[in-house]
Chain A
Protein backbone atom coordinates (compact mmCIF):
# COMPACT_ATOMS: atom_id res chain seq x y z
CA UNK A 1 0.00 0.00 0.00
CA UNK A 2 1.29 3.43 -0.98
CA UNK A 3 -0.50 6.41 0.47
CA UNK A 4 0.10 10.15 0.15
CA UNK A 5 -1.85 12.24 2.66
CA UNK A 6 -2.03 16.02 2.32
CA UNK A 7 1.44 16.18 0.82
CA UNK A 8 3.00 19.55 0.11
CA UNK A 9 6.43 20.23 -1.34
CA UNK A 10 8.41 23.38 -1.83
CA UNK A 11 12.05 23.86 -2.79
CA UNK A 12 13.80 26.18 -0.36
CA UNK A 13 11.69 29.23 0.29
CA UNK A 14 9.95 29.07 -3.09
CA UNK A 15 6.26 28.47 -3.68
CA UNK A 16 4.74 25.03 -3.17
CA UNK A 17 5.22 22.96 -6.31
CA UNK A 18 2.89 20.26 -4.96
CA UNK A 19 -0.12 21.06 -2.80
CA UNK A 20 -2.55 18.88 -0.90
CA UNK A 21 -1.65 15.66 -2.73
CA UNK A 22 -3.83 12.76 -1.63
CA UNK A 23 -3.97 9.31 -3.22
CA UNK A 24 -3.67 5.64 -2.39
CA UNK A 25 -2.14 2.97 -4.62
CA UNK A 26 -3.18 -0.54 -3.74
CA UNK A 27 -0.64 -3.34 -4.29
CA UNK A 28 -0.66 -4.53 -7.89
CA UNK A 29 -2.31 -1.43 -9.33
CA UNK A 30 -1.35 0.35 -12.56
CA UNK A 31 -1.58 4.11 -12.98
CA UNK A 32 -0.47 6.59 -15.59
CA UNK A 33 0.83 9.88 -14.28
CA UNK A 34 -0.04 12.76 -16.54
CA UNK A 35 0.21 16.51 -16.55
CA UNK A 36 1.75 19.33 -18.50
CA UNK A 37 5.46 20.09 -18.30
CA UNK A 38 6.16 21.81 -14.98
CA UNK A 39 3.03 20.41 -13.35
CA UNK A 40 5.15 18.55 -10.75
CA UNK A 41 5.36 15.01 -12.19
CA UNK A 42 9.09 14.65 -11.56
CA UNK A 43 8.76 16.05 -8.04
CA UNK A 44 5.96 13.61 -7.28
CA UNK A 45 8.10 10.74 -8.65
CA UNK A 46 11.02 11.84 -6.47
CA UNK A 47 8.79 11.79 -3.41
CA UNK A 48 7.64 8.29 -4.35
CA UNK A 49 11.17 6.88 -4.60
CA UNK A 50 12.20 8.76 -1.41
CA UNK A 51 14.64 10.97 -3.27
CA UNK A 52 13.00 13.92 -1.51
CA UNK A 53 11.17 14.49 1.75
CA UNK A 54 7.84 16.36 1.63
CA UNK A 55 7.53 19.76 3.26
CA UNK A 56 4.31 18.62 4.88
CA UNK A 57 2.01 15.63 4.98
CA UNK A 58 2.52 11.90 5.47
CA UNK A 59 3.84 9.33 2.99
CA UNK A 60 3.21 5.65 3.64
CA UNK A 61 5.27 3.23 1.54
CA UNK A 62 4.61 -0.49 1.79
CA UNK A 63 2.57 0.21 4.94
CA UNK A 64 5.42 2.05 6.67
CA UNK A 65 5.39 5.75 7.51
CA UNK A 66 8.46 7.10 5.74
CA UNK A 67 8.86 9.98 8.22
CA UNK A 68 9.34 7.59 11.13
CA UNK A 69 11.79 5.27 9.37
CA UNK A 70 15.39 5.31 10.52
CA UNK A 71 17.96 6.33 7.92
CA UNK A 72 19.44 2.83 7.96
CA UNK A 73 16.06 1.36 6.97
CA UNK A 74 15.73 3.49 3.83
CA UNK A 75 18.13 1.59 1.49
CA UNK A 76 16.15 -1.64 1.90
CA UNK A 77 12.95 0.30 1.23
CA UNK A 78 14.41 1.94 -1.87
CA UNK A 79 15.55 -1.43 -3.22
CA UNK A 80 11.87 -2.37 -3.46
CA UNK A 81 11.32 0.47 -5.89
CA UNK A 82 12.42 0.34 -9.53
CA UNK A 83 12.84 3.63 -11.33
CA UNK A 84 13.18 4.37 -15.05
CA UNK A 85 14.49 7.91 -15.40
CA UNK A 86 13.62 10.07 -18.36
CA UNK A 87 17.32 10.60 -19.14
CA UNK A 88 18.05 6.92 -18.27
CA UNK A 89 20.93 7.74 -15.87
CA UNK A 90 23.02 4.78 -17.00
CA UNK A 91 26.63 4.48 -15.90
CA UNK A 92 28.64 5.08 -19.07
CA UNK A 93 31.77 3.29 -17.88
CA UNK A 94 29.89 0.05 -17.19
CA UNK A 95 28.67 -2.50 -19.72
CA UNK A 96 24.96 -3.04 -20.36
CA UNK A 97 25.20 -6.18 -18.25
CA UNK A 98 26.85 -4.40 -15.31
CA UNK A 99 24.34 -1.55 -15.48
CA UNK A 100 21.42 -3.94 -15.26
CA UNK A 101 23.17 -5.97 -12.56
CA UNK A 102 23.52 -2.99 -10.20
CA UNK A 103 20.34 -3.59 -8.16
CA UNK A 104 21.24 -7.26 -7.74
CA UNK A 105 24.76 -6.44 -6.58
CA UNK A 106 23.41 -3.91 -4.09
CA UNK A 107 21.09 -6.61 -2.78
CA UNK A 108 24.09 -8.91 -2.31
CA UNK A 109 23.07 -11.53 -4.91
CA UNK A 110 25.85 -13.99 -5.80
CA UNK A 111 27.78 -13.14 -8.97
CA UNK A 112 27.15 -16.63 -10.33
CA UNK A 113 23.41 -15.95 -10.42
CA UNK A 114 23.64 -12.39 -11.64
CA UNK A 115 25.02 -12.97 -15.14
CA UNK A 116 22.45 -15.63 -16.00
CA UNK A 117 19.47 -13.54 -14.91
CA UNK A 118 20.70 -10.29 -16.42
CA UNK A 119 21.62 -11.88 -19.75
CA UNK A 120 18.18 -13.46 -19.97
CA UNK A 121 16.41 -10.15 -19.31
CA UNK A 122 18.62 -8.22 -21.73
CA UNK A 123 17.85 -10.87 -24.34
CA UNK A 124 14.17 -10.37 -23.66
CA UNK A 125 14.38 -6.62 -24.31
CA UNK A 126 16.30 -7.29 -27.54
CA UNK A 127 19.82 -6.55 -26.32
CA UNK A 128 21.13 -10.10 -26.04
CA UNK A 129 23.92 -9.26 -28.48
CA UNK A 130 24.98 -6.15 -26.58
CA UNK A 131 25.73 -7.51 -23.12
CA UNK A 132 29.21 -6.01 -23.02
CA UNK A 133 28.40 -2.81 -24.89
CA UNK A 134 28.77 0.47 -23.04
CA UNK A 135 25.83 2.88 -23.13
CA UNK A 136 27.54 5.62 -25.18
CA UNK A 137 27.94 3.15 -28.06
CA UNK A 138 24.22 2.34 -28.10
CA UNK A 139 21.24 4.22 -29.51
CA UNK A 140 18.81 6.15 -27.32
CA UNK A 141 16.25 3.40 -27.63
CA UNK A 142 18.75 0.72 -26.65
CA UNK A 143 19.85 2.77 -23.65
CA UNK A 144 16.24 3.15 -22.62
CA UNK A 145 15.75 -0.60 -22.74
CA UNK A 146 18.80 -1.06 -20.51
CA UNK A 147 17.31 1.45 -18.07
CA UNK A 148 14.02 -0.44 -18.06
CA UNK A 149 15.77 -3.78 -17.61
CA UNK A 150 17.72 -2.31 -14.67
CA UNK A 151 14.51 -1.08 -13.05
CA UNK A 152 12.77 -4.45 -13.17
CA UNK A 153 15.63 -6.94 -12.68
CA UNK A 154 15.19 -7.08 -8.89
CA UNK A 155 11.41 -7.58 -9.17
CA UNK A 156 10.46 -4.32 -7.40
CA UNK A 157 7.20 -3.92 -5.51
CA UNK A 158 6.78 -0.44 -6.98
CA UNK A 159 7.87 0.51 -10.49
CA UNK A 160 8.10 4.17 -11.44
CA UNK A 161 8.82 5.08 -15.05
CA UNK A 162 9.24 8.55 -16.48
CA UNK A 163 8.36 8.57 -20.20
CA UNK A 164 9.65 5.02 -20.66
CA UNK A 165 8.67 4.79 -24.31
CA UNK A 166 9.82 8.24 -25.40
CA UNK A 167 12.85 7.09 -27.39
CA UNK A 168 11.73 3.80 -28.89
CA UNK A 169 9.65 2.98 -31.92
CA UNK A 170 6.05 1.90 -31.49
CA UNK A 171 6.68 -1.86 -31.63
CA UNK A 172 9.43 -1.73 -28.99
CA UNK A 173 7.31 0.70 -26.95
CA UNK A 174 4.40 -1.71 -26.95
CA UNK A 175 6.70 -4.59 -26.01
CA UNK A 176 8.04 -2.61 -23.03
CA UNK A 177 4.54 -1.63 -21.94
CA UNK A 178 3.55 -5.28 -22.05
CA UNK A 179 6.55 -6.01 -19.81
CA UNK A 180 5.22 -3.49 -17.29
CA UNK A 181 1.76 -5.00 -17.71
CA UNK A 182 3.15 -8.46 -16.92
CA UNK A 183 4.86 -7.15 -13.78
CA UNK A 184 1.64 -5.46 -12.75
CA UNK A 185 -0.20 -8.74 -13.15
CA UNK A 186 2.43 -10.40 -10.97
CA UNK A 187 1.70 -7.90 -8.19
CA UNK A 188 4.03 -4.97 -8.86
CA UNK A 189 2.48 -1.53 -8.41
CA UNK A 190 3.23 0.45 -11.57
CA UNK A 191 3.17 4.21 -12.12
CA UNK A 192 4.13 5.47 -15.58
CA UNK A 193 4.52 9.15 -16.34
CA UNK A 194 3.69 9.78 -19.97
CA UNK A 195 2.24 12.24 -22.44
CA UNK A 196 1.30 9.48 -24.86
CA UNK A 197 -2.51 9.55 -24.94
CA UNK A 198 -2.47 6.61 -27.34
CA UNK A 199 -0.78 4.38 -24.79
CA UNK A 200 -3.06 5.56 -22.01
CA UNK A 201 -6.22 4.83 -23.96
CA UNK A 202 -4.87 1.50 -25.25
CA UNK A 203 -4.04 0.10 -21.84
CA UNK A 204 -7.03 1.61 -20.04
CA UNK A 205 -5.61 2.17 -16.59
CA UNK A 206 -6.57 5.03 -14.23
CA UNK A 207 -4.41 8.07 -14.20
CA UNK A 208 -3.02 10.45 -11.62
CA UNK A 209 -3.34 13.84 -13.26
CA UNK A 210 -1.32 16.78 -12.04
CA UNK A 211 -2.34 20.31 -12.81
CA UNK A 212 -0.37 23.22 -11.35
CA UNK A 213 0.76 21.23 -8.32
CA UNK A 214 -2.58 19.64 -7.43
CA UNK A 215 -3.51 16.05 -8.21
CA UNK A 216 -6.71 14.42 -9.36
CA UNK A 217 -7.25 10.67 -9.67
CA UNK A 218 -8.99 10.04 -12.99
CA UNK A 219 -10.71 6.64 -13.44
CA UNK A 220 -9.83 4.45 -16.41
CA UNK A 221 -11.56 5.28 -19.65
CA UNK A 222 -12.11 8.94 -18.79
CA UNK A 223 -10.86 11.28 -21.47
CA UNK A 224 -9.14 14.36 -20.16
CA UNK A 225 -10.75 17.63 -21.23
CA UNK A 226 -8.32 19.45 -23.46
CA UNK A 227 -9.23 23.03 -24.35
CA UNK A 228 -8.71 24.52 -27.82
CA UNK A 229 -5.07 25.23 -28.48
CA UNK A 230 -4.49 28.82 -29.54
CA UNK A 231 -1.11 29.42 -31.15
CA UNK A 232 0.76 32.01 -29.05
CA UNK A 233 1.72 35.31 -30.67
CA UNK A 234 5.43 35.54 -31.46
CA UNK A 235 7.45 38.19 -29.66
CA UNK A 236 8.14 41.31 -31.73
CA UNK A 237 11.81 40.42 -32.08
CA UNK A 238 10.89 37.22 -33.93
CA UNK A 239 7.96 38.61 -35.93
CA UNK A 240 8.21 39.70 -39.59
CA UNK A 241 10.51 38.53 -42.42
CA UNK A 242 14.17 37.78 -41.69
CA UNK A 243 16.13 40.95 -42.64
CA UNK A 244 19.19 40.60 -44.91
CA UNK A 245 22.53 40.77 -43.07
CA UNK A 246 24.18 44.18 -42.92
CA UNK A 247 27.90 44.10 -43.71
CA UNK A 248 30.28 46.29 -41.71
CA UNK A 249 31.12 49.53 -43.54
CA UNK A 250 34.79 48.46 -43.89
CA UNK A 251 33.83 45.37 -45.82
CA UNK A 252 30.82 46.68 -47.74
CA UNK A 253 32.77 48.24 -50.60
CA UNK A 254 35.13 45.29 -51.10
CA UNK A 255 32.98 42.27 -50.63
CA UNK A 256 29.76 43.74 -51.92
CA UNK A 257 30.63 43.77 -55.65
CA UNK A 258 32.10 40.28 -55.45
CA UNK A 259 28.97 38.97 -53.85
CA UNK A 260 26.77 40.74 -56.35
CA UNK A 261 28.82 39.97 -59.50
CA UNK A 262 27.63 37.08 -61.68
CA UNK A 263 30.09 34.20 -62.06
CA UNK A 264 32.81 34.87 -64.61
CA UNK A 265 32.48 38.66 -64.64
CA UNK A 266 35.11 41.08 -63.40
CA UNK A 267 34.06 42.33 -60.00
CA UNK A 268 35.81 45.69 -60.54
CA UNK A 269 34.22 46.35 -63.91
CA UNK A 270 37.61 46.46 -65.65
CA UNK A 271 38.01 44.88 -69.07
Chain B
Protein backbone atom coordinates (compact mmCIF):
# COMPACT_ATOMS: atom_id res chain seq x y z
CA UNK B 1 0.00 0.00 0.00
CA UNK B 2 2.90 2.34 0.77
CA UNK B 3 4.64 3.97 -2.17
CA UNK B 4 1.50 3.47 -4.21
CA UNK B 5 0.94 6.08 -6.92
CA UNK B 6 -1.81 8.47 -5.86
CA UNK B 7 -3.93 10.44 -8.30
CA UNK B 8 -3.97 13.27 -5.78
CA UNK B 9 -0.58 14.84 -4.94
CA UNK B 10 -1.24 14.56 -1.20
CA UNK B 11 2.33 13.65 -0.31
CA UNK B 12 3.44 17.15 -1.33
CA UNK B 13 1.13 18.87 1.19
CA UNK B 14 2.60 20.59 4.22
CA UNK B 15 -0.27 19.24 6.34
CA UNK B 16 1.23 15.76 6.14
CA UNK B 17 4.41 16.79 7.93
CA UNK B 18 2.66 18.22 10.98
CA UNK B 19 0.16 15.34 11.09
CA UNK B 20 3.01 12.81 11.50
CA UNK B 21 4.23 14.62 14.62
CA UNK B 22 0.74 15.18 16.02
CA UNK B 23 0.02 11.47 15.68
CA UNK B 24 3.43 10.63 17.20
CA UNK B 25 2.66 12.76 20.28
CA UNK B 26 -0.85 11.31 20.56
CA UNK B 27 0.44 7.75 20.35
CA UNK B 28 3.11 8.53 22.94
CA UNK B 29 0.55 9.95 25.39
CA UNK B 30 -1.94 7.18 24.71
CA UNK B 31 0.62 4.44 25.35
CA UNK B 32 1.81 6.07 28.58
CA UNK B 33 -1.79 6.52 29.79
CA UNK B 34 -2.63 2.93 28.93
CA UNK B 35 0.56 1.60 30.53
CA UNK B 36 -0.15 3.64 33.67
CA UNK B 37 -3.69 2.30 33.91
CA UNK B 38 -2.46 -1.27 33.42
CA UNK B 39 0.26 -0.95 36.06
CA UNK B 40 -2.17 0.51 38.59
CA UNK B 41 -4.79 -2.09 37.82
CA UNK B 42 -2.21 -4.86 38.24
CA UNK B 43 -0.90 -3.34 41.44
CA UNK B 44 -4.35 -2.97 42.97
CA UNK B 45 -5.15 -6.52 41.90
CA UNK B 46 -2.01 -7.90 43.54
CA UNK B 47 -2.64 -5.98 46.75
CA UNK B 48 -6.28 -7.04 46.84
CA UNK B 49 -5.38 -10.65 46.12
CA UNK B 50 -2.87 -10.54 48.95
CA UNK B 51 -5.40 -9.17 51.41
CA UNK B 52 -8.55 -11.00 50.43
CA UNK B 53 -9.17 -14.01 52.62
CA UNK B 54 -6.89 -12.66 55.30
CA UNK B 55 -7.69 -11.07 58.62
CA UNK B 56 -5.44 -9.58 61.26
CA UNK B 57 -6.11 -9.51 64.97
CA UNK B 58 -4.31 -6.83 66.94
CA UNK B 59 -3.86 -7.27 70.67
CA UNK B 60 -2.99 -3.87 72.09
CA UNK B 61 -0.41 -3.55 74.90
CA UNK B 62 -2.26 -2.75 78.16
CA UNK B 63 -0.82 -1.85 81.53
CA UNK B 64 -3.93 -2.27 83.70
CA UNK B 65 -3.35 -4.81 86.48
CA UNK B 66 -6.62 -6.71 86.04
CA UNK B 67 -5.84 -7.37 82.35
CA UNK B 68 -3.88 -10.58 81.66
CA UNK B 69 -0.46 -10.17 80.09
CA UNK B 70 -0.22 -9.71 76.29
CA UNK B 71 1.18 -13.23 75.67
CA UNK B 72 -1.73 -14.80 77.56
CA UNK B 73 -4.25 -12.72 75.64
CA UNK B 74 -2.60 -13.85 72.38
CA UNK B 75 -3.12 -17.46 73.43
CA UNK B 76 -6.78 -16.72 74.22
CA UNK B 77 -7.24 -15.14 70.80
CA UNK B 78 -5.58 -18.12 69.07
CA UNK B 79 -7.78 -20.56 70.95
CA UNK B 80 -10.92 -18.66 70.10
CA UNK B 81 -9.96 -18.35 66.42
CA UNK B 82 -8.98 -22.00 66.03
CA UNK B 83 -12.32 -23.01 67.50
CA UNK B 84 -14.22 -20.83 65.01
CA UNK B 85 -15.56 -22.57 61.89
CA UNK B 86 -14.42 -21.02 58.57
CA UNK B 87 -10.91 -20.26 59.74
CA UNK B 88 -8.15 -22.19 58.01
CA UNK B 89 -5.19 -20.93 59.93
CA UNK B 90 -4.38 -18.53 62.78
CA UNK B 91 -0.69 -17.85 63.53
CA UNK B 92 0.92 -15.21 65.72
CA UNK B 93 3.24 -12.74 63.98
CA UNK B 94 6.61 -12.88 65.67
CA UNK B 95 7.98 -9.76 67.32
CA UNK B 96 10.87 -9.72 64.87
CA UNK B 97 8.47 -9.75 61.92
CA UNK B 98 6.38 -6.96 63.45
CA UNK B 99 9.51 -4.87 63.95
CA UNK B 100 10.50 -5.59 60.37
CA UNK B 101 7.18 -4.18 59.18
CA UNK B 102 7.91 -0.94 61.00
CA UNK B 103 11.50 -0.67 59.84
CA UNK B 104 10.86 1.36 56.64
CA UNK B 105 9.18 4.07 58.71
CA UNK B 106 10.93 3.98 62.10
CA UNK B 107 14.34 2.57 61.22
CA UNK B 108 16.11 -0.53 62.62
CA UNK B 109 17.12 0.89 65.99
CA UNK B 110 13.83 0.41 67.77
CA UNK B 111 14.02 0.37 71.59
CA UNK B 112 13.25 -3.04 73.11
CA UNK B 113 10.66 -1.62 75.50
CA UNK B 114 8.64 0.03 72.73
CA UNK B 115 5.05 -1.12 73.36
CA UNK B 116 3.89 -2.78 70.13
CA UNK B 117 0.58 -4.53 69.56
CA UNK B 118 0.78 -8.29 69.11
CA UNK B 119 -0.50 -9.47 65.77
CA UNK B 120 -2.25 -12.67 64.77
CA UNK B 121 -2.41 -13.46 61.06
CA UNK B 122 -5.65 -15.23 60.11
CA UNK B 123 -6.39 -17.09 56.89
CA UNK B 124 -10.03 -17.89 56.22
CA UNK B 125 -11.27 -20.93 54.32
CA UNK B 126 -11.97 -20.11 50.66
CA UNK B 127 -15.74 -19.88 50.15
CA UNK B 128 -16.26 -20.18 53.89
CA UNK B 129 -19.09 -18.35 55.54
CA UNK B 130 -17.23 -16.59 58.28
CA UNK B 131 -19.30 -13.92 60.02
CA UNK B 132 -16.57 -11.31 60.38
CA UNK B 133 -18.59 -8.71 62.39
CA UNK B 134 -19.77 -11.42 64.83
CA UNK B 135 -16.22 -12.73 65.23
CA UNK B 136 -14.95 -9.20 65.86
CA UNK B 137 -17.56 -8.71 68.56
CA UNK B 138 -16.74 -12.05 70.24
CA UNK B 139 -13.03 -11.29 70.20
CA UNK B 140 -13.50 -7.82 71.67
CA UNK B 141 -15.75 -9.25 74.42
CA UNK B 142 -13.57 -12.24 75.26
CA UNK B 143 -10.10 -10.71 75.06
CA UNK B 144 -9.39 -7.21 76.35
CA UNK B 145 -7.55 -5.05 73.75
CA UNK B 146 -8.24 -7.44 70.86
CA UNK B 147 -9.41 -5.89 67.67
CA UNK B 148 -10.17 -7.64 64.35
CA UNK B 149 -9.05 -5.87 61.20
CA UNK B 150 -10.52 -7.24 57.99
CA UNK B 151 -8.72 -4.59 55.82
CA UNK B 152 -12.10 -3.50 54.41
CA UNK B 153 -11.32 0.21 54.64
CA UNK B 154 -7.87 -0.26 53.10
CA UNK B 155 -9.28 -2.43 50.32
CA UNK B 156 -12.06 0.09 49.63
CA UNK B 157 -9.49 2.90 49.35
CA UNK B 158 -7.35 0.75 47.11
CA UNK B 159 -10.26 -0.08 44.82
CA UNK B 160 -11.24 3.59 44.69
CA UNK B 161 -7.67 4.60 43.83
CA UNK B 162 -7.42 1.99 41.09
CA UNK B 163 -10.81 2.94 39.64
CA UNK B 164 -9.98 6.67 39.70
CA UNK B 165 -6.62 6.08 38.04
CA UNK B 166 -8.25 3.94 35.37
CA UNK B 167 -10.92 6.58 34.80
CA UNK B 168 -8.29 9.29 34.41
CA UNK B 169 -6.40 7.08 31.96
CA UNK B 170 -9.62 6.45 30.01
CA UNK B 171 -10.44 10.16 29.87
CA UNK B 172 -6.89 10.86 28.71
CA UNK B 173 -7.19 8.19 26.03
CA UNK B 174 -10.51 9.66 24.85
CA UNK B 175 -9.05 13.18 24.77
CA UNK B 176 -5.99 12.00 22.87
CA UNK B 177 -8.16 10.00 20.46
CA UNK B 178 -10.50 12.95 19.96
CA UNK B 179 -7.63 15.32 19.29
CA UNK B 180 -6.11 12.86 16.80
CA UNK B 181 -9.46 12.47 15.01
CA UNK B 182 -9.83 16.27 14.85
CA UNK B 183 -6.31 16.60 13.41
CA UNK B 184 -7.06 13.99 10.74
CA UNK B 185 -10.38 15.67 9.85
CA UNK B 186 -8.56 19.00 9.53
CA UNK B 187 -5.80 17.51 7.37
CA UNK B 188 -8.27 15.73 5.10
CA UNK B 189 -10.46 18.81 4.70
CA UNK B 190 -7.38 20.87 3.90
CA UNK B 191 -6.36 18.27 1.34
CA UNK B 192 -9.83 18.32 -0.20
CA UNK B 193 -9.76 22.13 -0.40
CA UNK B 194 -6.21 22.25 -1.80
CA UNK B 195 -6.91 19.64 -4.43
CA UNK B 196 -10.54 20.40 -5.18
CA UNK B 197 -9.86 20.79 -8.95
CA UNK B 198 -8.33 17.30 -9.08
CA UNK B 199 -11.06 15.82 -6.88
CA UNK B 200 -13.66 17.39 -9.18
CA UNK B 201 -11.83 16.06 -12.24
CA UNK B 202 -11.76 12.51 -10.85
CA UNK B 203 -15.45 12.86 -9.99
CA UNK B 204 -16.30 14.00 -13.53
CA UNK B 205 -14.23 11.18 -15.03
CA UNK B 206 -16.33 8.65 -13.16
CA UNK B 207 -14.36 7.95 -10.01
CA UNK B 208 -16.55 6.51 -7.29
CA UNK B 209 -16.56 8.22 -3.91
CA UNK B 210 -14.74 5.20 -2.52
CA UNK B 211 -12.01 5.55 -5.15
CA UNK B 212 -11.37 9.16 -4.09
CA UNK B 213 -11.64 8.26 -0.41
CA UNK B 214 -9.05 5.49 -0.89
CA UNK B 215 -6.55 8.09 -2.07
CA UNK B 216 -6.89 9.92 1.25
CA UNK B 217 -7.01 6.69 3.24
CA UNK B 218 -3.72 5.50 1.73
CA UNK B 219 -2.08 8.84 2.43
CA UNK B 220 -3.39 9.08 6.01
CA UNK B 221 -2.43 5.46 6.71
CA UNK B 222 1.11 6.19 5.61
CA UNK B 223 1.29 9.26 7.88
CA UNK B 224 -0.34 7.43 10.81
CA UNK B 225 2.10 4.51 10.55
CA UNK B 226 5.08 6.88 10.48
CA UNK B 227 3.73 8.89 13.42
CA UNK B 228 2.77 5.69 15.21
CA UNK B 229 6.27 4.24 14.85
CA UNK B 230 7.85 7.41 16.26
CA UNK B 231 5.34 7.62 19.14
CA UNK B 232 5.64 3.92 19.96
CA UNK B 233 9.44 4.04 20.01
CA UNK B 234 9.51 7.06 22.31
CA UNK B 235 6.85 5.58 24.60
CA UNK B 236 8.64 2.21 24.87
CA UNK B 237 11.90 3.97 25.74
CA UNK B 238 10.06 5.97 28.42
CA UNK B 239 8.33 2.88 29.86
CA UNK B 240 11.67 1.03 29.87
CA UNK B 241 13.39 3.78 31.86
CA UNK B 242 10.42 4.07 34.27
CA UNK B 243 10.56 0.31 34.76
CA UNK B 244 14.25 0.50 35.56
CA UNK B 245 13.75 3.49 37.86
CA UNK B 246 10.99 1.82 39.89
CA UNK B 247 12.94 -1.44 40.00
CA UNK B 248 15.99 0.30 41.48
CA UNK B 249 14.00 2.43 43.96
CA UNK B 250 14.99 1.69 47.52
CA UNK B 251 12.85 0.60 50.49
CA UNK B 252 10.26 -0.93 48.23
CA UNK B 253 8.04 2.11 48.68
CA UNK B 254 7.49 2.55 44.92
CA UNK B 255 5.34 -0.04 43.16
CA UNK B 256 7.14 -2.12 40.58
CA UNK B 257 5.99 -1.55 37.00
CA UNK B 258 5.02 -5.05 36.01
CA UNK B 259 3.19 -5.66 32.74
CA UNK B 260 2.11 -9.03 31.43
CA UNK B 261 2.92 -10.21 27.90
CA UNK B 262 -0.67 -9.54 26.92
CA UNK B 263 -0.42 -5.99 28.24
CA UNK B 264 2.81 -5.39 26.31
CA UNK B 265 1.02 -6.66 23.20
CA UNK B 266 -1.86 -4.24 23.86
CA UNK B 267 0.63 -1.36 24.03
CA UNK B 268 2.23 -2.46 20.77
CA UNK B 269 -1.21 -2.53 19.15
CA UNK B 270 -1.97 1.11 20.03
CA UNK B 271 -0.41 2.51 16.79
CA UNK B 272 -2.33 -0.04 14.71
CA UNK B 273 -5.62 0.87 16.40
CA UNK B 274 -4.83 4.58 15.96
CA UNK B 275 -4.01 4.03 12.29
CA UNK B 276 -7.32 2.23 11.81
CA UNK B 277 -9.14 5.09 13.51
CA UNK B 278 -7.32 7.65 11.35
CA UNK B 279 -8.15 5.76 8.14
CA UNK B 280 -11.81 5.44 9.13
CA UNK B 281 -11.94 9.15 10.00
CA UNK B 282 -10.38 10.06 6.64
CA UNK B 283 -12.85 7.88 4.76
CA UNK B 284 -15.92 9.30 6.52
CA UNK B 285 -14.66 12.88 6.08
CA UNK B 286 -14.09 12.42 2.34
CA UNK B 287 -17.38 10.60 1.76
CA UNK B 288 -19.26 13.33 3.58
CA UNK B 289 -17.58 16.06 1.53
CA UNK B 290 -18.14 14.24 -1.77
CA UNK B 291 -21.84 13.73 -1.01
CA UNK B 292 -22.29 17.46 -1.72
CA UNK B 293 -21.05 17.02 -5.32
CA UNK B 294 -23.63 16.41 -8.12
Contact = CB atoms under 8 A, between A and B. Distances in A.
B208 A52 contact: no
Contacts of A79: 205-206
B204 A49 contact: yes
Interface string A90-101: 011110001000
B211 A106 contact: yes
A92 to B, nearest CB: 8
A103 B5 contact: no
Contacts of B294: 50-53
Contacts of B203: 78
Contact of B206 (A94, A98, A106): A106
Interface residues of A, number: 26
A146 B198 CA distance: 16
Nearest to B11: A93
A91 B204 contact: no
A105 B207 CA distance: 9
A78 B206 contact: yes
B12 A93 contact: yes
Interface in A73-103: 75-81, 83, 89, 91-94, 98, 102-103
A93 B9 contact: yes
Nearest to A89: B201
B39 to A, nearest CB: 48
A98 B5 contact: yes
Contact of A83 (B197, B205, B209): B205
Contacts of A49: 204
Interface string A50-62: 1111000000000
A78 B204 CA distance: 7
A48 B31 CA distance: 54
Interface in B1-49: 5, 7, 9, 12
Nearest to A93: B9
A149 to B, nearest CB: 14
Contacts of A78: 203-206
Interface in B182-212: 197-198, 200-209, 211
Nearest to B5: A98
Nearest to A95: B5
A75 B5 contact: no
Contacts of B205: 78-79, 83, 102-103, 106
B207 A94 contact: no
B202 to A, nearest CB: 8
A103 B197 contact: no
Nearest to A49: B204
Contacts of A50: 204, 294
B256 to A, nearest CB: 54
Given A51-B294, A52-B294, A94-B7, A75 B201 contact: no
A62 to B, nearest CB: 13
Interface in A104-125: 105-107
A139 to B, nearest CB: 21
Contacts of A76: 206
A105 B212 CA distance: 12
Contacts of B198: 91
A132 to B, nearest CB: 12
A94 B5 CA distance: 8
Nearest to A107: B206
Nearest to A71: B291
Nearest to A46: B204
A75 B202 CA distance: 10
Nearest to B294: A53
B11 to A, nearest CB: 9
B66 to A, nearest CB: 94
A77 B9 CA distance: 26
- Max chain B CB contacts within 10 Å: which of A78, A80, A98, A103? A78
29 contacts: A49-B204, A50-B204, A50-B294, A53-B294, A71-B291, A72-B208, A75-B209, A75-B211, A78-B203, A78-B204, A78-B205, A78-B206, A81-B206, A83-B205, A89-B197, A89-B201, A91-B7, A92-B9, A93-B9, A93-B12, A94-B5, A94-B7, A98-B5, A102-B7, A102-B202, A105-B7, A106-B202, A106-B205, A106-B207
Which 6 A-B pairs have CB atoms at the shortest separation, nearest pair first?
A79-B206, A78-B206, A93-B9, A75-B208, A75-B206, A106-B207
Given A91-B201, A102-B7, A103-B205, 13 more contacts: A51-B200, A51-B294, A78-B203, A78-B204, A79-B206, A81-B206, A91-B9, A92-B9, A98-B5, A102-B202, A103-B206, A106-B202, A106-B208
